[in-house]
Amino acid sequence: MPIFVDNGLDSKMLVEACVNAGVKGIEYTLRRSDAHEMIPWIRRNYPDLFLLVGSTLDDASIVAHCKKRYLQLLTVPELDEIGVDGFVSMIGWTQDSIRKYSPNRIIIPTASTTTEAFQQMSAGAHFIKILGSDISLVKRCRAEPAFDYCPIFVTGGQNPESIPETVAAGALLIGSGFDLILKGMSDDVTCDQVTEKLKIYLDITRESRTKHWPETVSDTILNNSEWLNTLSHYHPFTQDTGE
């Protein structure tokens, strides 16, 4: 999953490159200074693209305070009203917030311990975000005593060399920022060049998931509900709707 951080490149070009590469979902972070304009624009112009919003804060009073300096910030209710598909947080969310939004939105809070990860899963989180600098935590969350339950989304330092090891450690989803994806490329990089670079990341991730998570990449999966049913953990989308 490409992650949009504030790196100065044209946002609309990057979104177009993602779609051209076959990316089905992106994480647009509130760190990006154009987030308040781009998130509604993406929702309007690419309704079929899964749009997760990163760097979310689930406390409106904190958002109001921070917005004095970071004008692009939006509250979770505002983003929910826009119709984004889910939320990612580096800080983590309260269990009340997770319970409120998880029946209808993908929730991916960050955890720094196995206890924190499982508490957030119990509240209804769909995946747990773990920084790529601590693969040992990924392994602990996926260890035998955890009974193959905790689904992991790893970000930070993910490139074609590290992705296979990260997936092998137990990560189901991988995220990488354009600051890393396009590292070493010129500032006037074209949409086609970004597309080709993204395809490399996608191919390596698919190969790794096919090896370690073959049930999630089966050709017989027809829709999102069927994909959710391949996961070993509980997912509130289907449980809350009675499916």
Sign of CA dihedral 162, 108, 91, 87: positive
| CATH at 207 | 3.20.20.70
Would the pLDDT of 218 be above 80? no
Using the structure block, give the residue that is written with the tokens 């005593």. Answer: 145
Contact 82, 71 (CB under 8 A): no
Q: How many domains does the chain have?
A: 1
Helix (H) or strand (E) holding 210: helix 191-212
Containing structural domain, residue 160: 2-241
Give the separation between CA 128 and CA 228, rounded to whole angstroms: 15
What's the mean per-residue pLDDT of the chain?
91
Give the separation between CA 53 and CA 116, rounded to whole angstroms: 21
Tens-digit pLDDT profile for residues 125-159? 999 999 988 889 999 998 888 887 889 999 999 99
Would the pLDDT of 170 be above 80? yes
Would the pLDDT of 77 be above 60? yes
User: What's the rounded mean pLDDT across residues 198-222?
Assistant: 89
Give the separation between CA 153 and CA 120, rounded to whole angstroms: 14
Per-residue pLDDT at 243: 40
